[in-house]
Each structure stands twice: as C-alpha cells, then as structure tokens.
Amino acid sequence: MRPWVLRFARRKDELHEELRAHLQMAVADRMERGETTDEARQNAIREMGNLPLIEDVTRAMWGGMWLERVLQDMKYALRQIRRAPGFSVTVVVTLALGLGATVAMYTVVDRVLLRPLPYRDAGSLVKIETMTSNGGSPLIDIEEWQARSHALQSIAFYDADSSNAHLAFIEGKDESTQVAEPHVSANLFPTLGVRAAMGRTFLEGKGGAVREEDAHTLLLSDTVWRGGFGADPHIIGRVIRVSGESFTVIGVMPRGFTFPYGIQRSAVWKPIVPVAADMTRKGDETPRHDTIARLKSGVSLSAAAAELKGIQAGVARQYPDAEYRAHVASIRMQRYGDSLVNEDVRKSLLALGGASGVLWLIACVNVTSLLLARAAARQREIAVRGALGASRWRIVQQLVIEGLMLSVVASALGIGLAMLTLRMFEHGLKTQFHIYTTLTPNLRVLGALLVLTVMSALVSSVWPAMAAARAAIDPALREGATQSGTGRRQHRLRGLLVVAEIAMSLTLLVACGLLLRTIYALRHVPLGFRTDHVMVANMSIPNYKYAGRDLYKDLYGPLLGRVQHMPGVDSASLMSEVPLGQTFNIVFSFGDGNSSAVDLRRGKIRAKASGVTPDNQKVFGFSMLRGRFFNNGDTATSTPVVVVNREFVREYEGHEGDPGEILGTPLLGSRKEKQPVVVGVLDDERQVAVARPSQAEIEVCLPQVTPGSMFYEPAGMAMDLAVRTERDPAEMTPELRRVLREASPELANSTFTTMDQVVEDSYGSQQLAARLLETFGGTALVLCIAGIYGLLAYLVTQRTRELGIRLALGAQRGRVMGMVLWQAGRMLLCGVGAGLMLAYISVRLLHTLLYGVTAHDPWTMVAVTLMLLTGGLAAAYLPARRAAGVDPMEALRSE
Amino acid sequence: MGTKNSYQNRIELVQGTLDMLLLRSLQWGPQHGYGLVQALRTHSGDVLQVETGSLYPALHRLERQGWVRSEWKQTESKQRAKYYRITPQGKKQLLANVDRWQQMVQAVGAILEREPEGSDA
C-alpha cells in the first residue's frame, strides 16, 4: 500500500510540474512576441484553461482513478465517523456482536459438519450397518455382498468400535506410547483411495481381507512415525513391539490421514486376517466387522441401499438362529461423512447456527435503521453535494464506503468476540461435538467473515444510501426542511424494521427460555450419587504387560492402596466406568439357560456391568435399598458376590415387588462352578445420561475378579480411579499422576477430571445450547431495546416543533407522553405477535434438546413476552418523557 | 464568449486523430507538451489548435499504452520539461492508424465526390 501511495503522490507532483513548465514556456513565447509580463501570463493561463480540471482528467488516464476516489471517500468517511462517535461506536458494536456470534457458530459448524475427509472423493464413501449390537457384519456376509452387488465398487471392513477397546502401547526403550490400533482389511486403502506415503499397505487376499503372510505387519500414522520414531527414513522393515507382540512395519501413511475419522492422530493399523470363525454365522461367536464401501460412479445412495437390502434379505435367510436372523434382516446405508455426526448433534448445531444467523440479522436491521436515521439527518449535506454536481452513483458509493469502513472495524472486533466466545465455550464445544483440533477460525471462516462483512455493509448502507440519493435535492435545501422531514414512508419503514427486530428477538428469547427450563429440570433430576469433591482418572491400562498375571493383585490392588494413603485423600475406589462417564460400556447378559419362559425373559436383560472396589460407596455415596455393599471381606477366596440395582431386580423378577427378594439368589450362568450370590440392591441412579432413566446394572467386586472369571478381560480394558478428596483438583492432579506412573509408566497417559465436570458434560448439548442461546438472546434483547429507543428518540427529535405547537395549543403533557408510548406499544404488539408465530414454528428445531418442558411451553412464551414488553416500554419511556417535557416556546423559537 | 470567437477559424480535432498526430509529430524527435502544440499549429498552417485539456490526457494515455516514453530534460532555454519519445510499438501503432485514416479519407472522399445520378434522389 505504502509504496503505491508514494508513487501516486510523486506522479501527481510531476504532472503538476509538467503543466507549470508548459505554462512558463507559453508565457516566455508570448513575451518574446512582445507582450508584457502580465499580459503574457494572463493570456497563457486563459489559453490553457482550467488547470486543476486538466490534472484531474489526465490523472484519469492512469487507470487508478477509482482508487483515488475510494481513498478520498475513505478520508471523508473517517471524518464523518469522527464527527459522530456515538453513532459510529453503536454501529460498530452492534455489527461486531452479530458478526462475532455468526463467526463463532460458523467455526463450529465448519469443524463438525463440513469437515473435509482425508479420502479421495469422500462423498461416495458409504457406511453399511445391520441392526446387530455393534452394527457390524460377518466376513462371510460381506463376501456375499462383494460377489453380488453391482452398485458398490468395493466393500472394505474394519474393527474399531470403541475408542478405548482399541488402545495399544508401542513399547519404546524407556516408556511406552499409547496409540489407537484399528484393525483393517487390505482393500480398505484402495477403497478410501489412499496410498502409503512410504512403503506399502497390506496384501489383499480373499474377500478383501489381509493375506496370511502379512499377519504380523503394521502401518504407522505419520504422527507416530514422526513422534515415536523421529521420522526414521529406514523404518520400513523394522520390527517393533506393540502391546507385547512383534510386528514388522511395512508402511507409513500420509500426513493427515486417519481412519476411522475422529480417532486420535497417533495410530497404527493392524491387519484383519480371516480366522475360521469368520466363515460362520453363529450369532455373537462370529466376529462382526464395521463396513465401509465406495459407490460406483453415477450410482445414487438410495439405489445402492435398495440393491444391498435385496441381497441382504437372501443372506439373512441363511442364519439358523431366528432372533439373530431378525437383527441382520435389513441394512442401513448412509454416507460415511454423515455417519460421523450424530443426528441430534446435527440438529442442535443447525438450530444454534440458525440462532446466530438471526442475531446477525437483528444486528443488520438495527444498523440499517441507524443508518437510515443518519441518512435522513444528513439529507441536507447530501443535497448540497448533489447540487455541487456529485452524481447519485458517487453519493451512493461514498455512503457504501462509509458503511464498509464501519463494518471492517466491526469485523476486526467481531473476530475478537468470536475467539472469546469460542474460548469461553471451548470445553463444551469440544466434548459435545468431539472436536479434537483447536477451535480457531480458519481461512474458510475468515473468508465467510469477509463475505458477511461485505454483505452487512451492503445490506445496511445501500438501502439508506439509495433512499438518500433518490431524495429530491430541492426541498432538502430549502430552509426548515429538516423539520418537515423525510416523510411518513421512511418512518413506517423504520417502524417495520423495529417490528422485525422485536419478532426475531422474541424467537431467540423463547428458545433461550425453553433451554433454561430444560437445564433447570436436568439439574433437579436426582442423580443417585454424590458428585462433589470427587476426582476421576480415566486410566489407560497396559493390560498386555499383565498377561498370565493377576491384574488386581499385581496392579489395581497396590495402586489403590497407595492412592488411599496419599495425603488429603478421604477414600478412593476403582470402577470400570464412573456414572455418566461415557467412556466404556460392558454389557452383561444371561446365557441361554434351559429356555423356560422365565429364562427367555431373563435372557433379554442387557445390564450394564462394572467391576468396583468396596470403597466405591464411600466415594460416591450410593444408597443401598436392601442388603449390603461389598466390603473388605469379599476377596478372591471368599464366595463370589454381586450387587445389582433396583431396575435389574424389576427386570429379573418381571414384576414390581420387594427388591429384597433377590438377596441370596445365585445368579444363573455367570460362572459354571461358583455361582455369584446377590448380596445387595442399589437404589436407581443415572448411569448414561442425566436425561436417561436408570438402566439395569450389575456390579461385581473387583478383588474377586481373577484371571479366568468372565469379567477379567473387560476389567483390563478400562478402569476409572475415583478419589474423594477435599483438596484442589489442580493441585492434586500432578501428585496422582506421579503415583500412577510409579505403578506403571503407561498410566501417566491417564486423563483427569472431576465428577462435577463429568456431570456438567453430561448435561451436554443442552447446557451448551442454553449458554449460547443466553448469550445470543441477551444480545438480541439489548439490540432490540436499543433499536426501539433509537427510533423513538429520533422521532421525538424530528417532531419537536410539532409537539411544541400541540402543547402550545393546550395538549396535555400526559397525552403527549401517552402518544409516544402508544407508538412504541404498537410496534411492540406487532413485533410480539409476529415473534410468537415465528417462535411457534421455529422452536420445533430445538425439540431434541428439550427435557422436562414442551416446545410450546406457554409459561416460557408468556414470560418472554412480558420481558420484551417491559423492556420495550422502558426504552420508550425516556423519549416519551422528553416529548412531554418539550418547552413550546423554545420549540417554536428554534425555527 | 469573446475568447471563443478568436478560435473560430481553427478546426476542432476529430476524435481519435489526436493520438495519430501526436505520434506522427514525435517521429521527428522527442518533444515536450508545449512543443507539440506549437508543432501541430505550425505544421497545419495555424489551423489545428490542440487544447491543453486534450493534449495531456492523450499523452498520458499513449504512455500508459506503451506507445511513448517520457523523461525529464532541460530545454534550450534551461527550462525543465517532460519530453516524450515514440517507442517501436508506437511506430507500429502509427502505421496502423495512418492506414486506417487513409482508408477513411478515401471512403469519405469517394462519397463526397460522387455526382448525383438519377432525378429521384
């Protein structure tokens, strides 16, 4: 910019000098011909004509004229902005609020809904799911699809259902690194359209699975290669140890590649080599794989889904087990990108995005209204410029540039606000929408901001500018014209804008009110346990190290003992998953039994299982309905015992009876030789989400979980450490981490949180939506009140003279005040009416977020309406009082 | 109004021909703006008067097109002035302009010299 401006200035000087030289030569010539100095000078000047005009026209030849004009307009605009700082600040802040909210929401939408997947032509990748518990299919079925489908180009499969179940440790010299380890088929990479950046991917065998000779090979992600192996160029062919097994590295995947999408960046991919069970259809004994396929080009999703449904109907007939046949009878096909975003999340995001858009509109309407008022006030100035020869286009251009400058400042401020909003809501956004990258506006968002800025400048300045430029010059120039004003049309227009603003604000406020009621309802759901002063460590367990050993005796027990003796720790316990933790889920179900009617019913029970230590009740304060909780007498050698909850008893007994009946019952099928006995019944509690009722639960005593027992394997996959302590979590975390590291170095990777935070997170999308809508709604309310105030204050100023005359003629001051208030009341009533209709239609978008309140809750509507009416009338009161206080003499004299 | 009368015996330049005349004049050697006005007046036998308001925009336009270059030099009377010099590109452009001009003169001439034929016209 700078050199350009300098060059421009130099050229301008040169042109000036060129013309002066011309003039001097002309004068010299004339003097030579005998004219006097004065004569020569006068004649030469006359002959040359209007010098500044010539300079202007000549400069136009340089091609940068428009820029010069823009610079001129900018200078002028700056002067205008400085002259009315209140107005400018209002406009900038209003726009910044609207833009800030929109950019923040757009950043989130961009991250969650529009994220570009790192695969070739990701739009034609589809995920295929059956109705089985994990949605997977046996290899034998997949092979049949591959053989018979014409709509799918290739069908690949992988195992990566739960992020925790597939954690592995790459063993280094000193410390192990924790990585994700999805198992994948060989044809996955060609299906995704991705090649290894170095080396190769797996060799493809029958059905797309990996060939036997690659059974002990491994692919590394770029992050692992760089972080774990220092980007070693000779990594291919090296043998590394992963969770106790040796693998040969055959390839490194390109930077940015990840699969399944959303797993942590450090990952290794292991091969799926078919085993004998893969060729069976025996219910849960047959491994089931997640399936991803690529559509042939030109084939639509629905056509492919229809074809595969047809094929699957035939496949299902080959299942011997009737119940299982029902699970696999049909399939669901959706785009892979869509499968990553849960429907509720998508809906709530769109609702929030819509809300921020509405806020932006309100901001624009407000600014348009402000600029309209200002254009009216500046009509005289604009008329003068018109009279001096400025073209209408030029006047519009100048006003647009003024608008643009205001919105550029506003967008700088808006970015700041957006970053602030994102930081404020960072935790909620990340946990709710599973965003693992930093939330800063990226280039795309900045681009969107630019578009929004230009749009808001255009929307909010073109309209008033056009109105101003269209106005006839003549009447505006006449004396007193400002009083007779800008005509009813413009007032009505501004009135309409304010009505629209009220309507939109009401909609936002209703949405906000509904969510606040939801949060209130959620907070008053009895959880069934205490959450205060409990720290939680979600441990990553290096279970491979304990193969052939007793995990409790060698790791959990000693670790727990050490934690319990840490200073400041009241009690500590281990639990497969803390309530509402949403990290790991073990499902317990009874075996087939002897298929009596009772056994059939009990066979359907799907209970949440977890292994806990006896101190768990001290930490969480669960209440016992009947019997006892585990105690230190329950050891590996004593009778195995379990504790169940009330819901479990309900389902087990099949009726609402005394929950105590179940005490002492040996539970079927848990273990052949030593059947565990129920010793206690817990009261119901919230385990999965605050809004979800209690589900059947069975707890086993961890010290009794020894190698060979049915809970041994799951107990080694995930474990939470819960600690009751009065100490500050921030201060406690490093100490806990040290103790964990001493127990086993890998445990240092554990994540720490508090139970209060876990509960807070489980309010989840509602909490986040409520907070965001509070912000949006509050802003909207302020803007709306500012809009009403601005319009009325302006109208009163415009009508000072008229009001003065009315008062002079004997009008009651009260009547005058009522008149102004009525004007506000009319706008408010119209706005509220329109807003209620708008709200009635649009809150339906929110219904997935609501809990304990209906979408059309009348109380919320009434409360919000009253709030807006009160706010609006309060805003009108000041101008109304000013109107009533007009001094007739002064008003008339000022003319 | 009085000033305008004194120019009445001079011909206003046809649009577009000024560029050609300026390029042609510059073929005789580098010249400054004032010199060009004088040259055009003298060589047209005092008929063509180039207005300053057309001359400088035209020169700057020619320079932007790359048909002339400019540099600051001293005149014989020690006056610093901006001299314009025709470029090879400008020469090419001049040839094209002259060709077109001659075609036009011929065409216009042919129409003007044609005798009226038939009485219907």
pLDDT of residue A718: 78
Instruction: Using DSSP, state whether A179 is helix, strand or coil.
Output: strand
Strand runs (DSSP E) across A563-667, as ranges?
569-575, 586-588, 607-612, 624-627, 641-645
**A3 CB-near residues (< 8 Å, 6+ apart):** none
- Contacts of residue B107, defined as CB under 8 A and 6 or more positions apart, other chains included, come to none
For the stretch A373-397, pLDDT in tens is 777 777 777 777 777 777 777 777 8
Backbone angles phi and psi of A234, in degrees to 5: -105, 30
Enumerate the β-bridge partners of residue A752.
A537
Rounded alpha-carbon distances, angstroms, from residue A115 to A107, A165, A335, A340, B45: 11, 26, 14, 10, 77
Q: Which of A516, A501, A537, A423 is nearest to A785 (CA)?
A: A501
CB contact under 8 A, A62 and B60: yes
Residue A714 has a pLDDT of 74
Question: For residues B96 and B85, what is the distance between their CA atoms, to the nearest angstrom?
Answer: 18
Residue B8 is predicted with a pLDDT of: 41
Residue A860 phi, psi dihedral angles, 5° rounding: -60, -45
CA A408 to chain centre: 26
A 542-581: CB under 8 A from B: none
Q: A570: which DSSP letter?
A: E
pLDDT one-digit tens code per residue, A176-202: 778 888 899 999 999 999 999 999 999
Cβ distance of A50 and B53 shorter than 8 Å: yes
How far is A54 from chain B, CA to nearest CA, in Å?
5
Residues of chain B contacting A59 with CB distance shorter than 8 Å = 60
CB contact under 8 A, A49 and B51: yes
Choose the closest CB to B53 out of A29, A53, A62: A53
A59 → chain B, closest CA residue: B57
pLDDT at A192: 92
pLDDT band at A465 (very low <50, low <70, confident <90, very high): low
- Mean pLDDT, range A567-579, rounded to an integer: 88
Q: Does B79 sit within 8 Å of A24, measured CB to CB? A: yes
Nearest Cα residue to A865 out of A839, A892, A891: A839
Q: What three-state secondary structure class fits A140?
A: helix
H/E stretch holding A618 reads helix A616-620
With 60 as the cut, is the pLDDT of residue A481 above it?
A: no
**ipTM of the predicted structure?**
0.81
Q: Are A210 and A178 within 8 A, CB to CB?
A: no
Residues of chain A positioned with their CB less than 8 A from the CB of B81: 18, 21-22, 25
Main-chain dihedrals φ then ψ at residue B23, nearest 5 degrees? -65, -40
Chain B residues whose C-beta is within 8 A of a chain A C-beta are 3, 32-35, 38, 51-53, 56-57, 60-61, 64, 75, 77, 79-82
Q: What is the structure's pLDDT at A125?
A: 92
In the block, tokens 């400054």 appear at B32
Helices (H), A744-887: 755-798, 800-808, 813-842, 858-884
Q: Give yes or no for a contact between A845 and A354, defined as CB atoms under 8 angstroms apart.
A: yes
Residues A497-550: tens digit of each pLDDT: 889 989 999 988 898 888 888 888 888 888 888 888 999 998 877 777 777 788
| E-state strands within A183-323 | 183-184, 198-199, 217-220, 239-242, 245-252, 268-271, 290-295
* Distance from the Cα of residue A756 to its chain's centroid: 22
Mutation target to probe the A interface, by most A beta carbons within 10 A, among B3, B6, B34 is: B34
Top-ranked range on mean pLDDT: pick from A67-81, A747-761, A881-895: A747-761
Contact A253, A197 (CB under 8 A): yes
Q: What is the pLDDT of residue A475?
A: 63
Return the axis-axis angle of helices A813-842 and A858-884, rounded to nearest 10°: 150
Residue A625 has what pLDDT?
A: 85
Class of residue A146 by CB neighbours under 10 A (exposed 0-12, middle 13-18, buried 19+): middle
Q: What percent of chain A has pLDDT over 90?
A: 12
Considering only the beta carbons, identify the residue of B51, B60, B81 that sits closest to A21: B81
Q: How far apart (Å, rounded) are the C-alpha atoms in residues A864 and A466?
A: 36
Q: With bands split at pLDDT 50, 70 and 90, how would you rate the model's confidence at B11?
A: low
The shortest C-alpha distance from B84 to chain A (Å) reads 12
Q: Any chain B CB within 8 A of the CB of A57?
A: yes
A140-166 average pLDDT score = 81
DSSP lists the bridge partners of residue B20 as: none
The answer to whether the CB of A773 falls within 8 A of the CB of A518 is no
Q: Which of A162, A436, A115 is nearest to A290 (CA)?
A: A162
Pairing relation of β-strands A677-682 and A641-645? parallel
Give B111→chain A minimum CA distance, Å. Answer: 36
B80–A25 C-beta distance less than 8 A: no
Residue A895 reports pLDDT greater than 60: no
User: In B, which residues are within 8 Å of A29 by CB distance?
Assistant: 38
**Cα gap A764→A777, rounded to integer Å:** 19
Question: How many angstroms separate the CA atoms of B53 and A845, rounded?
Answer: 67
> Which residue, A106, A168, A778, is CA-closest to A505?
A778
Q: Residue A21: which of B38, B53, B79 has the nearest Cβ?
A: B79
3-state helix, strand, coil in chain A (%, to 5): 60, 15, 30
Q: Residue range A644-661: average pLDDT?
A: 82
Closest CA to A565 of A704, A700, A735: A735
> In which band, very low, low, confident or very high, does the pLDDT at A271 lie, cut at 50, 70 and 90?
very high
3-state secondary structure A288-301: CEEEEEEECCCCCH
Q: Which of B1, B50, B56, B61 to mutate to test the interface with A (most CBs of A within 10 A)?
A: B56
Please work out, in degrees rounded to the nearest 5, the angle formed at the alpha carbon of residue A90 by the alpha carbons of A84 and A93: 135
Report residue A718 as tokens.
């995930």
Query: Which pLDDT band, with edges at 50, 70 and 90, does A425 fall under?
Result: confident
Mean pLDDT of chain A: 82
Q: What is the mean pLDDT of residues A245-254?
A: 92
Q: Is the dihedral of CA A412, A417, A419, A422 positive or negative?
A: negative
